[in-house]
Amino acid sequence: MSKDEVTIELPGVPKRRGRPPTGQAMSSAERKAAQRQRLLDEGKASLTVNVSLEVIEALRKHVQFKDEDQGDAVDRILRSYLLRKR
């Protein structure tokens, strides 16, 4: 990156730290809405459930053994159980 040789520092104004603002920042609600839209575009949705610690530990072990994402593992397990032909 080239150093700016023309602009001088203003006296009495401290140099700001960090990344400069772009003016394009989204609110938390806008970010979450965009995330939900991306999931919908992929044919997915978010699901929050409460399960026993025993199930969580079994899922952790399964995911580690199969080397896959937790969401993909849960999707595959539920799909095989709920969408199987009867």
CA atoms lying within 13 Å on the CB side of residue 53: 0
pTM: 0.58
What is the mean predicted confidence (pLDDT) over 50-65? Answer: 94
Question: What is the pLDDT at residue 10?
Answer: 75
Question: What is the pLDDT at residue 62?
Answer: 93
State residue 28 phi and psi, 5-degree precision: -60, -40
CA atoms lying within 13 Å on the CB side of residue 74: 14
63 confidence band (pLDDT: 50, 70, 90): very high
Question: What is the pLDDT at residue 11?
Answer: 78
What is the mean predicted confidence (pLDDT) over 58-78? Answer: 92
Question: What is the pLDDT at residue 1?
Answer: 56
